[in-house]
Structure 1
């Protein structure tokens, strides 16, 4: 119930500018955006509720590099904790481009307008994936240790499971078997 209240409150806070001094000066987003999705913004969901639900960091780095579109701005969404901040910093340092920014230090109310103005979510099965889907953002969800039923409630989530798997569930521990090629193939349908 508490999470529902937090998300509901965040959705209701939709008539103000996002202002956070930790964001780069290039980032100024108002919401709602009249439901228009920014064709050059992608949310990368690096967070998760546990280590078996995380896609390897090296895969995110390779995916971002292979998308190879200089007009796309990537936002890394995760929790404000040491592990996810470390993942975000590693991706930023490896990609070495100004078109990538961490949102890990923001609260849910500050992240909502960025999600709402984005074209696509790519990442782990997290709250950010479900928020994206709820905001009518297409979400490519990586399912290697989560039941597919977690994505079946909406057409906005496209679940990707490892090749040669018919299904996945808790204890599949197969996130590292989802390939960058699999994800990139689906991403290209949206960009």
Structure 2
């Protein structure tokens, strides 16, 4: 198989967890060229994957059919003469481009009204006892040699995604740190955001108290608050509540994802919610504390031996709701800064 196309998922975390699939395909078909069709939002993840030859960026909007754009992209894709395409999202529209492009093998899970668009189909697992997402994507790599697939085999050992940082992103971050007079040897990265909603966000007051405790323990510590523009207000609250202006830096919305990857790679410890940046930290193998509330760490854990997961496993969790249905958000409020600091220190002591 000479050329393989991947239709990327739309979330950063899912994109990271698809890397073991790419590695498996490269092992199975060592002479193949793997390209990825991705939105600009997740494209940097695939640029950090050594298995990827080319990232085709496409401004495909969420919940928009964009019929004309998909047909135009299909013409571009068809010219590349791909032998197979792995469609990672479950939506109808995500399967249109490889179908328009007449790619012979179109592999994916059974999804939204796409009978015929996908011609090698795996059944989607139910919501109960779902496998980890990395395992879910990885299983697709075994489907190409079967005309029909009714079952999937997951790997015995947990899969750990791996990312690399680009030289240009490393240089850009080095310049930003120099401009801000931040010593790269003393960086802690806190990621207060989570795109899904409040039930995934550890309280800003807890982040602020943790920051104060880290600085009290290590006076040279520099804490960089990292995230998207939408997380900037959360970071501002943390800065105000902590009142440590010279030690806490709000970079939310001020870095590209390529730069964020490079910054996380040099951090001493990453503290985050269950988010895309959490999965990036795991794939970069940095020490990290991952805080879980409404989501399930068995399904979307940070896949790294250097990750420490904090989850209270309350009777009401995981609820997978965007807003706490009981109104108390106890699953996050009751994870105290002292507990997170202990986890951070235990990670640092093993380095």
Structure-1-length-normalised TM-score: 0.80
Residue 283 of structure 2: aligned partner: 134
1:12-71 CA deviation, whole Å, 9 max, x = no partner?
A: 761121169987723579xxxxxxxx6521110111021110000000010111121211
Residue 259 of structure 2: aligned partner: 110
Match of 1:61 among 208, 215, 223: 208
Q: What is the number of equivalent residue pairs in this alignment?
A: 180
Residue 93 of structure 1: aligned partner: 240
Residue 167 of structure 2: aligned partner: 15
Do structure 1's residue 159 and structure 2's residue 309 form an aligned pair?
A: yes
Contact 1:123 1:141 in 2 (8 A): yes
Q: 1:126 to 1:152 in 2, by over 3 A?
A: closer
Which of the two has higher C-alpha Rg? 2
Residue 96 of structure 2: aligned partner: none
Q: Distance in 1 between matches of 2:281 and 2:46?
A: 14
Structure-2-length-normalised TM-score: 0.46
1:61-109 CA deviation, whole Å, 9 max, x = no partner?
A: 101111212111111112112xx21111122233323121122122201
Contact 1:123 1:140 in 2 (8 A): yes
Tell me how far 1:116 sits from its aligned partner.
Answer: 1.0
Q: 1:122 to 1:103 in 2, by over 3 A?
A: same
Q: 1:179 to 1:104 in 2, by over 3 A?
A: same
User: Structure 1 unaligned runs (5+)?
Assistant: 30-37
Residue 25 of structure 1: aligned partner: 179
Q: Distance in 2 between matches of 1:24 and 1:104?
A: 18
Q: CA RMSD in A?
A: 2.8
Which structure is richer in relative contact order (CA contacts within 8 A, separation 6 or more)?
1
Contact 1:63 1:180 in 2 (8 A): yes
